[in-house]
Structure 1
């Protein structure tokens, strides 16, 4: 029976069936077609909403037709772009309609949303303002306003927040506003101002000037490598060499040296008739090394220098010459006594790092009321030099950030040296 029923059904399955069609032709908008065909790449290439603060990466054209074939005008970057609608043209390209009726491709390669991308609080950090800095009322985006400030370049500020925009990194300076990372320095930049001051005010061939911050190693120079007769500034070499022997315990402060006629007659000795208070002629008395060092540092005593040079520096032998030459970075001869402002500064810096009693002696001299130390209120350890038309002074200035200042002059005045020192100190104090 079952087999008969199956045979009877065969004609039914083999007969053609009538199909009733339900398909209709549907007209889709450009926007709908775009949504159906858009890919991940398309979505990252084009905007799907109107940006809140649209800006151009560079000057770009808008077009009078949606097909973007007829140029209407050129729009400038960083000028507000007034968008009224987002459309899809017949070429399935997203376009923005502008307020003036023109169109521009809604491409992320042409337009970006000029917004603050991130903002966070920071541990308080200190920076230095660069020349030409600007403050804004918020992290800079198009439309941000510049704000006025009484702060000046090359001064220190504290920041507490950081923000990122398409224009870069910005920091918040409490009580002032926001500033670009390009307008601040992580390190002390005051030496840039020192250099500008030297160049603008003291650019004369008879000046040799060298300044160096001891904490940062930043320096400024004007004819700093030009050599001159250094006069008594060369006594820094004697002071340094004797201090080295003290620190190596080769000698002691209480050791005594006899003042004989020989100490004034060796080839590289100073003229005993020059500066100082010790007898100009040999008295065969014993002088302690401590008293001789004080006489050299405080009175610029020629005889005291000769005694130390004769006994401790072995009449300025090869060891002395090579030690000092290596220290200052150029050949040095105690007989010629030629130095540049920079090499003299190197000598004073070496004495600074010795940190011996010599610094105290150089901070209390017969010459503190002239030249570098005259108007500076903090401790100044300095060594002067005078001969012929040469007038020099080299000093450690103990500002908050100690610095070396070396001023060599030819045919200038003590006041000139004071003015240079005052201008530098006003910046670095």
Structure 2
């Protein structure tokens, strides 16, 4: 009996041992390992594809910016005189400048930051659009562009002066806006502190293409939430000066402000392509007007046809 009982226990032990060994070496265990390896492999493959796609996108964007830079460089080389050029891609914020830090007499391009400064004061409540600004012949009279010179009145509303300053590039309106800000010297000093963080040369106010582009970038970004800035942008689109950056190619799709004084010929604009951009051109020399138009059409064409659609971030 004792021997038979031990044999039965031995048989049961062997069966259990065999089942345990079979479980650990079964096909199920091997399948789980394969499944885990497959998942890890898929994740690595997906990450690799994403990285490659991002790298390709950045390379395409860099190649595009190189085209813009080459166009600006060649334009600068071809111009007979001094030139300052700045481009900003409003999708990525990428800036490209050629002589972007060179100073030029502002001419009427100063009227854009002036209008924005007036808008700031209205937004803060220190100025109101319906307030009347008195005309002071000694301080305000200036020949050149504008309508007020042909029908000078004792006073004008701030709103009228703001509109005429941009739409008609009215010099008298500009001077009267300075009056509303405390006079010519104070107004320009405060304006330069606000936008350029520096003190102006009050005898001959100067600006660079980079500084002008920064002003337009602020205008573009804030117009979505600031109705006064949006109005300035609309004034720039409605300007009566259909020249320079306003070409047959860009007509109706550019908000710009020209500036002219002797051989200083400028234009600064925001362009409404699928991927909007800013271009500021300051010149001193010969044939500034056709130069600005030709360069505008060239950059517009590059932006419209060559901009990489899959662009992500600024490389």
For the residue of structure 1 that corresponds to 2:280, the secondary structure is strand
For the residue of structure 1 that corresponds to 2:183, the secondary structure is coil
Bigger helix fraction? 2
CA distance in 2, matches of 1:119, 1:351: 44
CA distance in 1, matches of 2:46, 2:124: 48
1:382 to 256, 259, 264: 256
The structure number with the bigger radius of gyration is 1
CA distance in 1, matches of 2:196, 2:60: 26
Alignment-derived partner of residue 422 in structure 1:
297
Task: Give 1:253 deviation, angstroms.
Answer: 2.0
Q: 1:61-102: CA deviations, max 9, x gaps?
A: xxxxxxxxxxxxxxxxxxxxxxxxxxxxxxxxxxxxxxxxxx
- Contact kept, 8 Å, 1:261 with 1:281, in 2: the verdict is no
For the residue of structure 2 that corresponds to 1:202, the secondary structure is helix
- Change in 2 beyond 3 A, CA 1:280/1:325: farther
Count of equivalent residues? 253
Alignment-derived partner of residue 58 in structure 2:
185
Show the 5 A alignment for 1:272-351.
272-279=142-149, 283-284=153-154, 286-311=155-180, 313-318=181-186, 320-351=188-219
- Contact kept, 8 Å, 1:278 with 1:303, in 2: the verdict is yes
Alignment-derived partner of residue 248 in structure 1:
124
Show the 5 A alignment for 1:15-414.
162=49, 170-171=52-53, 182-185=55-58, 188-189=61-62, 190-203=64-77, 204=79, 206-264=82-140, 272-279=142-149, 283-284=153-154, 286-311=155-180, 313-318=181-186, 320-355=188-223, 356=229, 357-368=231-242, 370-374=243-247, 375-377=249-251, 379-411=253-285, 412-414=287-289
Task: Give 1:310 deviation, angstroms.
Answer: 1.0
**Is there any run of 5+ residues in structure 1 with no aligned partner, and where?**
1-116, 124-160, 164-168, 172-180, 265-270
- Contact kept, 8 Å, 1:208 with 1:409, in 2: the verdict is yes
Task: Give 1:119 deviation, angstroms.
Answer: 8.9
CA distance in 2, matches of 1:209, 1:330: 21
Alignment-derived partner of residue 35 in structure 2:
none
CA distance in 2, matches of 1:402, 1:170: 27
- Per the normalisation by structure 2, the TM-score is 0.71
- Per the normalisation by structure 1, the TM-score is 0.53
Q: 1:183-202: CA deviations, max 9, x gaps?
A: 44189443332112212343
- Contact kept, 8 Å, 1:240 with 1:350, in 2: the verdict is no
Task: For CA contacts below 8 A with separation 6 or more, give which structure has more relative contact order.
Answer: 2
Q: 1:128-187: CA deviations, max 9, x gaps?
A: xxxxxxxxxxxxxxxxxxxxxxxxxxxxxxxxx929xxxxx655xxxxxxxxx6544189
Alignment-derived partner of residue 9 in structure 2:
none
- Change in 2 beyond 3 A, CA 1:260/1:322: closer
CA distance in 2, matches of 1:334, 1:215: 36
- Change in 2 beyond 3 A, CA 1:290/1:343: same
**Is there any run of 5+ residues in structure 2 with no aligned partner, and where?**
1-40, 224-228, 305-315
- Contact kept, 8 Å, 1:260 with 1:283, in 2: the verdict is no
- Contact kept, 8 Å, 1:362 with 1:383, in 2: the verdict is yes
CA distance in 1, matches of 2:43, 2:74: 41
